[in-house]
Every structure is written in C-alpha cells, then in structure tokens.
Amino acid sequence: MSNKNLIKMKEFKIVYMDGYDEVRDLETQDVVFSTKLPEYITKYVDRTTMDEVVIDNVVNIWNSTELEAVGNLWSDWKLDEYLLYEGKCTQEEREIITESLYKYAKV
C-alpha cells in the first residue's frame, strides 16, 4: 500500500471529565466526545449517560497504547474488541465512541 493512501492521524491521550460528561484531549482539553446519550437512545435504556466503567476502560485502553500505534486508531484492535464484547455498551454507543475518536484523530 502506498503511503499517500494512508490517513494521517494525530497522537493524543484522553481523559474522562465525569462532572462534565465528556471525554477530552488530555493536553488541549478539546472535547473528543460527550458521554451524554442522545434522546433516541435514552428511549431504550434506563440511563442518560454512557456507563462510567465502560468510559474508564475506553480511556485506559486508549492511553495504554504506544503513541506510534495510535495511527492504527484502535490500539491494536483492543479498543474495538473491548467495545464489541462489552455488555454494558449499546451498538449506538460503540459507534459514537469510535466515530468520535476517528474524527478527532484525523489531521
């Protein structure tokens, strides 16, 4: 594969801001994604925010990755695999998390 076809990704660590219901870039404090659930999801689950344990694990998996592997975006697929098999996370939440990280990481 040619290097010109690779998507350039920025390297960053994230932090969960519980009181603000947000996951932010650790260095810049830019919001990567909100942990508040959209109304169309809250109709089907008995909560208004993503599960804190899930978010803490997402942050830990993301931040445990060597920075050069962030170009892979999914931490050697650990994050994607975790979200796929995590029972407290809906498909919509997985999409919000992964799409938000991807959009934020794209340079």
Instruction: Give the span between the Cα atoms of 75 and 101, in whole angstroms.
Output: 12
Greater confidence, 75 or 36? 36
Query: In the predicted model, what is the mean pLDDT of residues 35-53?
Result: 92
Grade residue 37 by pLDDT with cuts at 50, 70 and 90. very high
Grade residue 66 by pLDDT with cuts at 50, 70 and 90. low
pLDDT at 25: 96
Question: Could you tell me the residue range of the domain that residue 64 belongs to?
Answer: 36-107
In a domain, 9, yes or no: no
In a domain, 91, yes or no: yes
Total domains present in the chain: 1
In a domain, 107, yes or no: yes
pLDDT at 32: 96
- pLDDT above 50 for 78: yes
